[in-house]
């Protein structure tokens, strides 16, 4: 048993070294990712459930490493947050998405709002709202064409300073959405303190509707309450026609998910809209 214990110890420490190495490799690679042009945005269409029209697109970050390997955000966003690299990376994402909106408009496509994810660290960065204003001015993107997605945790942590930042963004005309709604601990009444435009119902509540009675009731209640507060509701992770139809019955405003499209390149999305 002792020998096995030592063996285990060795196993774990090797695994830890591998993980630390992995992390350092990721971190140093990430430091150069912007300048080397390795970051890319994919866009997932957001559908108006009543009309079926594509009305927006969420920008989702991808990292195409030098060797060609594609790294998904769940593998590097946390490291980017911890190291602070999320600040320049997030600004790159915002600038690229805003420039893309303008390019789509110039190409004669129907008005397409862009949604950009903001991490907590980025949101708390002093001068964040001024950065957004600068990027909008530099790219020529209208504020009302931009939606910023933040999570409940951003609001819960430092509510007073969050409220001030959101107020300034809202006054600029930028739309604000709560991402992954339902996974944090905030309530809809709490959200009243903030100038929020939209709620995105987390995928975990959408997955088992309409079969699961509890999730169906939660989805219905969130949609009704959100509407009573004047908020737009977006359902995430819609994968089946049954989910779509049920959400439509509940008067959910918009939906996103593999049923409609996975995240695609800007060129592919433009092609989809031209054919529509």
* Alpha-carbon distances, residue 212 vs 181, 204, 206 (angstroms): 18, 12, 10
In the chain, how long is the greatest CA-to-CA distance?
71
The distance of closest approach from Cβ of residue 3 to ligand C2E in the complex, given in angstroms and rounded to an integer, is 42
122 binds Ca ion (CB under 5 A): no
User: Which residue in 117, 122, 139, 165 binds Ca ion (CB under 5 A)?
Assistant: 117
User: Which residue in 129, 147, 149, 152 binds Ca ion (CB under 5 A)?
Assistant: 149
Of 38, 35, 62, 57, the closest CA to residue 46 belongs to 57
Lookup result for tokens 């769940």 = 74
Task: Tokens for 247, please give them.
Answer: 């959400």
The distance of closest approach from Cβ of residue 163 to ligand C2E in the complex, given in angstroms and rounded to an integer, is 20
User: Which residue in 180, 181, 191, 261 binds Ca ion (CB under 5 A)?
Assistant: 180
Please give the helix or strand (H or E) that residue 42 lies within, else none. Answer: strand 39-48
The distance of closest approach from Cβ of residue 113 to ligand C2E in the complex, given in angstroms and rounded to an integer, is 15
Of 213, 205, 216, the closest CA to residue 249 belongs to 216
Residue 223, exposed/middle/buried by CB under 10 A (0-12, 13-18, 19+)? buried
Pattern 80-99, binding to Ca ion, x per CB under 5 A? --------------------
Task: Tokens for 197, please give them.
Answer: 């435009």
Contact partner, 72, from ligand C2E, Ca ion, none, Cβ < 5-8 Å per class:
ligand C2E
Q: Contact at 8 Å (CB) between 223 and 251?
A: yes
The distance of closest approach from Cβ of residue 9 to ligand C2E in the complex, given in angstroms and rounded to an integer, is 34
The distance of closest approach from Cβ of residue 177 to Ca ion in the complex, given in angstroms and rounded to an integer, is 8
The distance of closest approach from Cβ of residue 93 to ligand C2E in the complex, given in angstroms and rounded to an integer, is 4
Q: Contact at 8 Å (CB) between 24 and 244?
A: no
Contact partner, 61, from ligand C2E, Ca ion, none, Cβ < 5-8 Å per class:
ligand C2E
44 binds Ca ion (CB under 5 A): no
Residues that bind ligand C2E (CB under 6 A): 44, 60-61, 72-74, 77, 90, 93, 117, 119, 179-180, 203, 237-239, 256-258, 263
Of 184, 56, 182, 41, the closest CA to residue 120 belongs to 184
| Footprint of Ca ion (CB under 5 A) | 117, 149, 179-180, 236
């Amino acid at each position: 048993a002792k020998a096995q214990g030592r063996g285990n110890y060795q196993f774990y420490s090797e695994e830890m070294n591998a993980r630390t190495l992995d992390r350092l490799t990721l971190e140093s690679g990430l430091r150069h990712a912007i300048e080397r042009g390795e970051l890319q945005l994919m866009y997932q269409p957001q559908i108006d459930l009543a009309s079926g029209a594509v009305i927006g697109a969420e920008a989702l970050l991808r990292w195409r490493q030098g060797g060609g390997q594609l790294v998904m955000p769940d593998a590097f966003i946390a490291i980017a947050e911890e190291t602070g690299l999320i600040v320049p990376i997030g600004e790159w994402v915002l600038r690229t998405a805003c420039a893309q909106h303008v390019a789509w408009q110039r190409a004669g496509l129907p008005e397409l709002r862009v949604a950009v994810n903001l991490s907590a660290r980025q949101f708390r960065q002093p001068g964040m709202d001024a950065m957004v204003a600068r990027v909008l001015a530099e790219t020529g993107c209208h504020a009302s064409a931009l939606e910023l997605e933040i999570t409940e945790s951003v609001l819960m942590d430092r509510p007073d300073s969050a409220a001030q930042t959101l107020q300034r963004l809202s006054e600029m005309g930028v739309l604000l959405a709560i991402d992954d709604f339902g996974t944090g601990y905030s309530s809809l009444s709490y959200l009243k303190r903030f100038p929020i435009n939209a709620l995105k119902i987390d995928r975990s509540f959408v997955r088992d509707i309409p079969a699961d009675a509890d999730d169906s009731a939660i989805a219905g209640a969130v949609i009704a309450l959100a509407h009573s507060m004047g908020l737009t509701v977006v359902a995430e992770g819609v994968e089946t026609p049954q989910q779509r139809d049920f959400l439509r019955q509940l008067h959910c405003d918009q939906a996103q998910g593999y049923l409609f499209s996975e995240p695609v390149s800007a060129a592919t999305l433009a092609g989809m809209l031209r054919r529509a």
